[in-house]
A = this chain, B = another copy of it.
Amino acid sequence: MGTSLITSRYFIVFSGCLLLAIFLICFSWTNSPISNTKSNRLHRIAISSPSPQHPLDPLSLDEISTVQSVLRSYPQFSFPNAFPSIHSLSLEEPPKSVVLAWRPGHAFPPRRASVIAFSSGKSHLLTVDINSLTVLVHEIVTSVSGFPMLTPEDLATAVSIAFSNSTFLDSLISRGLDPSELTCGPSGWFGPLEESSRRLMIIDCSTHKDTINFYMKPIEGLSALVDIDRNETLHIWDIDRKIPVNSDPDTDYRYEVQKEKDQPSSCKVNPIFMIQPKGPSFEVVGKHLIKWAGWEMHVRPDARAGVIISQVKITDPETGKYRQVMYKGMVSELFIPYMDPTDGWYFKTYLDAGESGFGIQAMPLDRLNDCPTGAYFMDGVFAWADGQPYLRSDMICVFERYDGDVAWRHSEGLMTGKDVREVRPKITLVVRMAASVGNYDYIVDWEFQTDGLIRIKVSATGMLMVKGTTYENMNQVPEEEDLYGTLITENVIGVVHDHYINFYLDMDVDGSNNSFVNVHMVKQETNEGESPRKSYLKVKKHVAKTEKDAQIKLKLYDPSEFHVMNPSRINSIGNPSGYRIVPGGTAASLLDLHDPPQMRAAFTNNQIWVTPYNRTEQWAAGLLACHSNGDDTLAKWTEKDRPIENRDIVLWYTLGFHHVPCQEDYPIMPTVSASFELKPVNFFKKNPILRVAPYSKDDFLTLRSKASA
């Protein structure tokens, strides 16, 4: 952003616009949603916009308004109809060195916005200085393929183009459908019909007749290919008219609908709450800096990444001083390929951050049910396509958690004659957001433990993307036929798919210059006569020299630990200070490396990658991921095989899920979670929570007196 990386004319080969995470954003034809939401704007803007407290605080409503004004008066955009659509407008982070040097009370580095705009088929990257009201940088992207994230307005346009096509409308009507009962949305696309310079989408529809859950009622076999910039419908597919729409009357998941139905009383449970008799232990400085249990971190909403966690530090209990752990962590990209290669489905592969904005899709959290009592809620501030700001209330919550688990314990057995039972409860701090990317809901949790561990968890829930079928029972399906999924109810197939969530983790363990170490565990055979044992597990450490040395495919029978360590911070017994990444939630993409969706989501080719820090390399599938051909991805950057030893390095990790749907996922899916961890390894001299207090009888008396009153 604002750099010269992207300079020559872009070029698309066999690529396309893979839009809108999983059915992404759907429009009810009759609801005129854009006008509805726009009517709420003025109210929102009236909310006061405080000045920043930290160099990384996101742009405020006022700051975005200022940027909008600067762009409106910018000569290149100020003649009639020249104002581009704004696809991204967010804080341009000051250089890392400037942020690291900043201290409270210091003057703020200049407040600047990074803007990605689109006009006449061209992507513009701009830097706007908010203090001087000037456009500092303006580049037109010519070097790489791809388009900016789509705006909500783009999606509305796509739907309205299809609905203005009489063939499309006629087919709907001849299928016996009332267009006023349809919810339609654009989906990704690539393949033979693609052209390099056009923003194309495919529209298909579902019915919301008698249910909010239109996702379970697809109109199978009808779709329209549209050009959203030229307002043209290029092709209509109209096949499989014999496939019925799912007629199940019980797909609505809303409590107001379901509460009328019987539930066995034995299945009911009473509510449980977490309460803190002495109050919460975390402090929010300004709106974004969180302090808790020796941790400090900056948390901000982001339209693309969702949540950005910055400048994570932890107090060393030996010195009482902060030590750096991570400069920046965030979701960089998601990839959701569906596993059906047939006509109506082959294009359904999505990049949920780069195509549609993971943060844009993060709706306000339910204060009663999404986060426990005592949570702190943080708003997001984003921009519409015309540059006007809006507020996404309650987008992130921060809360303390106690779930009954223990941080450490030990009892002495009955045989030592020592009456020892020392147990410490585990209390953590969670930073949460939930993005509803069309049908799917993703909950992203950053959980901080008092012992220095950070757990990053992604939970998937919401609705499946389903396919209509004539089959009502598996006994009707010929043995040789591949359904590409599971028959989950009459006439409905849950299509097999994967989810990959890539995390950008700019680790700065005790400073920026770190190394990546493969702590390899190998079977070592003993020599004849050396030992009664034939074998043992031997640890062999290898410091990765270059990027290719740190491209990791995990193997159960060839295990390693993966450490990010600081070779300049050797402690008193000679071990370097480090943090481990503890993989979890692993699934590997099995798609062909040259399959177009895999090429642009090539970050899934390995589970772990390491790159030297480069501020232009933050989005694993490229800055302009939509329609890209994969020429600006993690896989491409690392082909340079740059040195990574004792440098400022970035760790990339991909969580994965294979999802073969089952009946229980219908009509709404129970949450499935996966997580990985960042864990101190020889970072502290000893267990950093050796001295914490257990819960005492007094704590319980306080609780009881409150609870029984």
Contacts and interface: CB of A to CB of B under 8 A. Distances in A.
Given A33-B415, A269-B293, A667 B682 contact: no
B274 A402 contact: yes
A406 B688 CA distance: 31
A531 B345 CA distance: 10
Interface stretch (A81-89, A237-245, A323-331, A480-488): A480-488
Of A266, A267, A281, A709, which is in contact with the most chain B CB atoms at under 10 Å from its CB?
A267
Interface stretch (A104-112, A140-148, A508-516, A700-708): A700-708
A572 interface: yes
A298 B608 CA distance: 43
B535 A595 contact: yes
A33 B277 CA distance: 41
13 contacts: A27-B416, A33-B415, A191-B533, A270-B281, A339-B537, A341-B526, A363-B414, A369-B694, A408-B668, A486-B575, A496-B538, A662-B681, A706-B706
Nearest to A338: B536
A689 interface: yes
Contacts of A272: 274-276, 400-402, 427
Interface in A461-489: 461-463, 472-477, 482, 484, 486-489
Contacts of A475: 574
Contacts of A131: none
Interface string A157-194: 00000000000000000000000000100000011100
Query: How many copies of the polypeptide does the oligomer hold?
Result: 2
Given A539-B496, A573-B472, A370 B414 contact: no
Given A266-B291, A370-B409, A406-B671, 19 more contacts: A26-B415, A33-B414, A191-B533, A263-B317, A266-B315, A270-B281, A368-B700, A401-B404, A407-B670, A408-B669, A411-B436, A412-B436, A473-B574, A523-B591, A554-B556, A557-B590, A559-B658, A663-B686, A666-B687
Interface stretch (A251-259, A299-307, A615-623, A628-636): A251-259
A698 to B, nearest CB: 10
A269 B400 contact: yes
A229 interface: no
Contacts of A414: 33, 37, 152, 363
A271 B276 contact: yes
A33 B417 contact: yes
A655 interface: no
Contacts of A489: 573, 685-686
Interface string A644-683: 0000000000000010101111111111010000001111
Interface in A404-460: 404-418, 420-427, 430, 434, 436-438, 441, 443, 449-453, 459
Nearest to A688: B664
A639 interface: no
B556 A555 contact: yes
B413 A438 contact: yes
A114 to B, nearest CB: 23
Contacts of A490: 573
Interface string A570-602: 011111000000001011101110111110000
Contacts of A294: 264, 266-267
A463 B273 CA distance: 33
B522 A31 contact: no
